[in-house]
Amino acid sequence: MKLVMDNLGFLFTGAYYTLLITIVSMFFGLFIGLFTAIARLKGNRLIAGIARVYVSIIRGTPIIVQIFIIYFGLPDYGITLGPLTAAYIALSINIGAYLSETFRGAILSVDKGQTEAALTLGLTPWQTMRKVVLPQAARAAIPPMGNTFIGILKETSLVSIVTVTELLRSAQLLIAQYYVAMPFYLAIAVMYWVMSTGFSAILNVIERKLSKAY
């Protein structure tokens, strides 16, 4: 493990980019997912239809193909993106589709009587959604969101194909340099596990707080 210890700083840099890609993609994916869920539930027929097609396409195609389309395909039309930007966009769009289903299910799980009561009290549909429905839906959405978050953390390894030096690519570069594989693969496996466990713990704390609040 001496080689791992000697190159720990390089691996930590890779882990930093893995976390950065995960957090940025999750941040934008949350907005995409929430907008898509509301569009499917509250939008007119056209908007709801577009949202359904988006979710169907993203969920029905491999994420690696989506990354290739954005990084290698768009330059055919004059749109050239850096590896990191392409990774952000591809993963945000992908996670947004999955989160939209999570949010849609969570919103539907809120008792309709509460919505009717809020409207009776004079709240507008938007105020009802923002102040009554979404806070309660958030509690139901946290557990599946956690699974999606951890899934995207591991799927960041796919962006190594477009030369983003995240954790997996960092290990591959070291393996190519030293011609030794097992120590580096074991090291990044532990690092992925630690990051996933940390995210799970944070989400558990958030879930408990939401449970007390509502």
CA distances to 39, 44, 122, 126, 140 from 118, rounded to whole Å, are 21, 22, 7, 11, 20
Bigger pLDDT: 112 vs 30: 30
Are the C-beta atoms of residues 14 and 169 closer than 8 Å to each other?
A: yes
- Mean pLDDT is lowest, of 41-45, 68-72, 180-184, for 41-45
The pLDDT value recorded for residue 150 is: 86
The pLDDT value recorded for residue 149 is: 86
pLDDT in tens, 77-128: 999 999 999 999 999 999 999 999 998 888 888 777 777 777 777 777 777 7
The pLDDT value recorded for residue 74 is: 94
CA distances to 39, 131, 150, 206 from 51, rounded to whole Å, are 7, 24, 24, 29
The pLDDT value recorded for residue 68 is: 94
**Where does the pLDDT of residue 36 fall: very low under 50, low under 70, confident under 90, or very high at 90 and above?**
very high
Give the CA angle between residues 99, 141, 112 to the nearest 5°. 110
Average of per-residue pLDDT across 191-207: 85
Domains in the chain, start-ordered, CATH in brackets? 2-213 (1.10.3720.10)
pLDDT in tens, 121-172: 777 777 777 777 777 777 778 778 888 888 888 889 889 888 888 899 999 9
The pLDDT value recorded for residue 213 is: 56
Q: Whole-model pTM above 0.75? A: yes
- Separation CA 19–CA 37 (nearest Å): 26
The pLDDT value recorded for residue 210 is: 65
